[in-house]
A and B are shown apart, each in its own frame.
Chain A
Amino acid sequence: MLKLEKRPQPSRTLAYLTPVFAVVITMIAGGLLFAALGKNPVEAIRTIFWDPLFGEFAFYYRPQLLVKGGPLILIAIGLSLGFRAGIWNIGAEGQYIMGAIFGAAMGLAFYPTEAWYIFPLMIIAGAFGGWLWAMVPALLKVKFGTNEILVSLMLVYVAEQLLASMSLGLLKNPEGHGFPGSRNLKDYPAAFNDELITGTGMHGGVLTAFLAVIFAYILLNRHMLGFSIRLTGEAPRAARFAGVKPNRLIVFCLGMSGLLAGLAGMFEVSGPSGQVSIDFNTGYGFTAIIVAFLGRLHPIGILLAGLLMALTYIGGEIAQGNLGLPAAAIQLFQGMLLFFLLAVDLLTNYKIRISKRKVAK
């Protein structure tokens, strides 16, 4: 009979190893899934994980790794702060959309002026949009004790409707021949978030993501606020005795994650995507939840997890084209990853012992 025994302290070695286990198990289960869909599992896994990096067209796909990884990392870093303290912002998708709308609107308001200050203003607007959208669940939780999970999620649907309204109405391209969607910011140099180094995929958003990783690392390891966040997550009672103000943490964590998600949206709309359109958002806000957990809510871990998840996106697209693997299979694959991660996490906190069933005397 298997028996669980709680470890006095979570195993550190296993804490690093479990994400790797989870990825391996997901590859095996994913291989079975692909086999069930009638594809060669080895070829499918190779196409997803190997080809984008070392395959024939790797020169094209490698920059994509940063383009896709950037927003994931940026959003996940913000989410991880709250998740550590038990504050669940799962509406990052909505904050990402709002960041894009605010950022693009700021840029388009200046069209066709060419000036150096337009792009910085867009960055501020984007961050503000995301922050604003996250302040709704934050303030409602602080003032009324409303559940932030449900409120932040409801706001995703509201943001999606707002996005549709914007691309059909207020921000619609006046020279777009009636097609929905805003002007393309790629044709507007002052507002275009171009690659910083040509051919690398490294745009402003990716740089910001890397800065966020460093910032989060310092915050969590070297700053009192970071300590309060960790303490609240690990020992809420102790945190209260230590004088941590839960309300301030809620406002900070939700605000920060909204701000970073808003930045991600702004850099996406002004760069890789180029315009506000109905199908602008592609679920980065939700995938970032997986990234945050896969990275163990640790900044460096999130950096690696974000790149890995970006790989599955790119590899998934290749597999879609070359092998006819459905897009949904990749989505399922990403979902499975989180499942297995949570399951193997058991090993970090508990020992599994095999014991004989004893009879009470």
Chain B
Amino acid sequence: MNLSAIDPALLLASLMVAATPILIAAIGELVAERAGVLNLGVEGMMITGAIVGFAVTVETGSPAIGFLAAAAGGALLSFLFALLTQFALANQVASGLALTLFGLGLSALMGQNYVGIKPPRTESLNIPLLSDLPFFGTVVFSHDLMVYFGIALVAATWTVLKYSRIGLVLRAVGENHDAAHALGYKVVRIRIAAIMFGGACAGLGGAYISLVRVPQWTEGMTAGAGWIALALVVFASWKPWRVLLGAWIFGGVSVLQLNLQAAGLAIPAEYLSMSPYLITILVLVIMSADRSRAPASLGRIFHASG
């Protein structure tokens, strides 16, 4: 084993990259859950975003258009979930599972002709002075735009939820949909918007995996990232900044275990590959002591009677 082969600067830099997809997807899910909707379809929306983003990027040659298409694809898929849960008043857990199963099938079908292709490179930033800094240049200032977009998204979500009127209404809908309805807020419309925002974010996160993190297309390549994003929301107690912290921890674990595999640690690779999932469980156990933070109407069906 050769631990000295692991360069801390590169490790931290790849941590930022590994954290980005689950960060973006988790922020989207956080908004949906704050509006009182539990969407278990994140995995399905991510994998759909991954193939849509990949296919569009390969066809157009532009990662930017690819990411936009992935967001649109994720939002479109989540609209199916919105139809089911908001109009057909279906159980949210079952509908979310349906969305994941559907998304996995859909992506496999769409991706048949894209196996083994290399997508056009998503360019990294190269800021003249900052990127050349000894340590911070590698860690902080030489990523692609999506890494910064993810962090900006956290800040924006936090600001909107905390300080804006829209955020207040959204939280009201999530805490008590009957009261919000009585006050004249459009519960269903707000929830649909929140669900679709979540879908778009999941799509972006998925596309980041297939375009930057891996970068290629294989069936089922998100490998549970969507579920980890869901766990991240619980971990963060529905608070945006803690999602960022959580994403970095998970990103760190997955990068570290890959590095340890490469360094030839005596533990077999399969056991190291388990670690992100086991740590997710561990974190869930620690965090679930504090249940008070969950939006009060989370997962409940709203039907305006009369």
Give A residues with C-beta under 8 Å from B: 4, 6, 88, 90, 136, 140, 144-147, 149-151, 153-158, 161-162, 164-165, 168-169, 286, 289-290, 293, 326-336, 338-339, 342-343, 345-346, 349-350
A346 B102 Cβ-Cβ under 8 A: no
Q: Say if the beta carbon of B179 comes within 8 Å of chain A.
A: no
When C-beta atoms are compared, the residue in chain B nearest to A2 turns out to be: B87
Overall SS of chain B's interface: helix
B101 A145 Cβ-Cβ under 8 A: no
When C-beta atoms are compared, the residue in chain B nearest to A343 turns out to be: B88
Measured CA separation A142–B32 after assembly (Å): 27
B274 A145 Cβ-Cβ under 8 A: no
When C-beta atoms are compared, the residue in chain A nearest to B112 turns out to be: A326
The minimal Cβ–Cβ distance linking A357 to chain B, given in whole angstroms, is 14
Query: In the complex, what residues of A have CB within 8 A of residue B291's CB?
Result: 145
B303 A6 Cβ-Cβ under 8 A: yes
A161 B109 Cβ-Cβ under 8 A: no
When C-beta atoms are compared, the residue in chain A nearest to B107 turns out to be: A328
B98 A342 Cβ-Cβ under 8 A: yes
The minimal Cβ–Cβ distance linking B229 to chain A, given in whole angstroms, is 10
Measured CA separation A332–B51 after assembly (Å): 15
Query: In the complex, what residues of A have CB within 8 A of residue B273's CB?
Result: 161
Check A335/B106 contact, CB under 8 A, given A144-B288, A145-B288: yes
- Which of A140, A162, A350 touches B274 (beta carbons < 8 Å)? A162
Give B residues with C-beta under 8 Å from A: 40, 80, 83-84, 88-91, 93-95, 97-99, 101-106, 108-109, 111-112, 219, 223-224, 227, 230-231, 234, 268, 270-271, 273-274, 277-278, 280-281, 284-285, 288-289, 291, 303, 305
A289 B101 Cβ-Cβ under 8 A: yes
Q: What would 17 more interface pairs be, CB under 8 Å, given A286-B101, A331-B108, A346-B90?
A: A140-B281, A140-B285, A145-B289, A145-B291, A149-B40, A158-B274, A158-B277, A158-B278, A162-B274, A289-B101, A290-B98, A326-B109, A326-B112, A329-B105, A331-B105, A342-B94, A342-B98
A88 B93 Cβ-Cβ under 8 A: yes
Measured CA separation A168–B90 after assembly (Å): 43
Query: In the complex, what residues of B have CB within 8 A of residue A136's CB?
Result: 281
A-B contact pairs, 27 of them (CB 8 A): A140-B285, A144-B289, A146-B285, A150-B231, A151-B284, A154-B277, A154-B278, A157-B274, A161-B271, A165-B270, A168-B270, A169-B268, A290-B98, A290-B101, A326-B108, A328-B106, A328-B109, A332-B106, A334-B101, A335-B106, A338-B94, A338-B98, A339-B98, A343-B88, A345-B90, A346-B89, A349-B89
